[in-house]
Structure 1
Amino acid sequence: MRSLITVIRENDDIAELLSWPGDFDLDHGDHVEPVHLASGAALEGFAADGAGGTYFFCGDGGEERPVLYADSEGQAALLAIGLPELLRLLLVAPWWRDCPEFTAEESAERAAEYLEDMPDFVERRDRAAAALGLTLPTDVAALSRLREVAAGPGADYVLVFTPEGTAYEPLITT
C-alpha cells in the first residue's frame, strides 16, 4: 500500500487543496528553531504551514505516528494520532485554528466564509478523500476529536525550545 504522503505528492489536486485551504505543505518541514520532545522521543518535521508552523511526526514508525503541530509563536499541540486523522481534520475543518472553543457554531461560521471564497470546496475535498482512501467525519466530530487528542494523549507530547530548555505553550487549551 502506498503511503499517504506519496499519494499527496503524486496528485497535484490533493496537494493544492491541502496547501489551501488546509495550510499544509509537504515541501517544507524544517522548524524555525531547534526543538525536541521533553520525553526524548524522536521528532521528525514533515510539513509546514504558510506562517512558519511545522507538523512533526513523534516517535518511531511511519504515518501512524502521533502528529504534533508547532506554530512560529511558541505554541504547540498534538493534533492527531496518525497522518490519516490529521488529513481528515484538514479536509473537513481547515479552519480549525479559527475555532478556539471547537463549537458547531464557530465551525459553521468559518465553513460559510470558506465556502464563499471556494464554492467547490466540498466537491474537491470529497475527491481528495476518495483518492486518499479516507472516510470523512463531520467537521464537528473532527474538531471534537482534535480537542480530545490535545487534552488526552497530547499532555505527554511537550515540545521544548532546545537552547533555553523551555516548553512551548499549549496551542489548544481545554
Structure 2
Amino acid sequence: MRSLITVIAEHDDVAGYLCWPGDFELERSDHVEPVHLASGAALEGFAGDGAGGTFFFCGDGGEERPVLYADSEGGAALVAIGLPELLQLLLVAPWWRDCQAFTAEESRELAADYQQDIPDLFAQRDRAAAVLGLDLPSEADVLARLHAVATGAGREFDLIFTPEGNTYERLIQV
C-alpha cells in the first residue's frame, strides 16, 4: 500500500485542494521554533500551513501515528490519530480552526463562506477523497472526533518550547 503522503505528492489536484482550502502543505514541515513533546516521544514535522503552523507525527511508526498541530502563536492540539483521520478532517471541514462550538451547524455556516469563493468545493473534495481512497464522515462526526481527540489527549502530548521549557496552550478546550 502506497503512503498517503506519496499519493498527495503525486497528484497536483489533491495537493492543491489540501493547500486551499485545507491550508495543508507538505513543503512546510519546519516549525518556527524548537519544540518537543512532554513525554519525550519522537516528534516529526511533516506538513504545515500558510500561517507558520506545523503538523507533527508523534512517536515512532508511520502514517498511523497521532498527529499534533501547533500554530505559530504558541498553541497546540492533538487533532487526529493517524494521517487518514487528519485528511478526513481537512477534506470535510477544512475550516476546523474557525469552529468554536464544533457543531455541524457552525461548520455548514463556515462552508457556505468557502463555497462563495470555491463554487465546486464539494466536487473537488470528493475527487480528492477518491484519489486518496478515503471515505468521508459527516461534518458532525469529523468535528466530534476532533474534539474528542484534542480534549482527551493526555499531558504526554503537551508541546514544549524547548529553550524555555514553556508548554504551548491547548488550542481546543474541554
The bucket for the TM-score relative to the shorter chain is over 0.9
User: Please, which moves more after superposition, 33-42 or 121-130?
Assistant: 121-130
Provide structure 2 residue ranges, at least 5 long, that are not aligned to the other structure: none
CA offsets 1:49-101 (integer angstroms, 9 cap, x no match): 00000000000000000000000000000000000000000000001011111
4+ runs deviating over 4 angstroms:
none
Between the two proteins, the alignment pairs up a number of residues equal to: 174
Q: Contact conserved, 2:80 with 2:149, CA < 8 A, in 1?
A: yes
Residue 14 of structure 1: SS of its match in structure 2? helix
The question of 1:21 aligning with 2:21 is answered yes
Provide structure 1 residue ranges, at least 5 long, that are not aligned to the other structure: none
Q: What is the TM-score with the length of structure 2 in the denominator?
A: 0.98
Per the alignment, residue 72 of structure 2 pairs with 72
Q: What is the TM-score with the length of structure 1 in the denominator?
A: 0.98
CA distance in 2 between partners of 1:103 and 1:63 (Å): 27
CA distance in 2 between partners of 1:104 and 1:167 (Å): 31
The aligned runs of 1:32-47 (5 Å cut-off) are 32-47=32-47
CA distance in 2 between partners of 1:3 and 1:105 (Å): 33
Per the alignment, residue 53 of structure 1 pairs with 53
Q: CA RMSD in A?
A: 0.8
Cα deviation for residue 154 of structure 1 reads 5.1
CA distance in 1 between partners of 2:16 and 2:147 (Å): 26
Q: What amino acid does structure 2 have at the position aligned with 1:124?
A: Q
Q: Contact conserved, 1:78 with 1:154, CA < 8 A, in 2?
A: no
* Identity within the alignment, %: 72
The aligned runs of 1:150-165 (5 Å cut-off) are 150-153=150-153, 155-165=155-165
Per the alignment, residue 91 of structure 1 pairs with 91
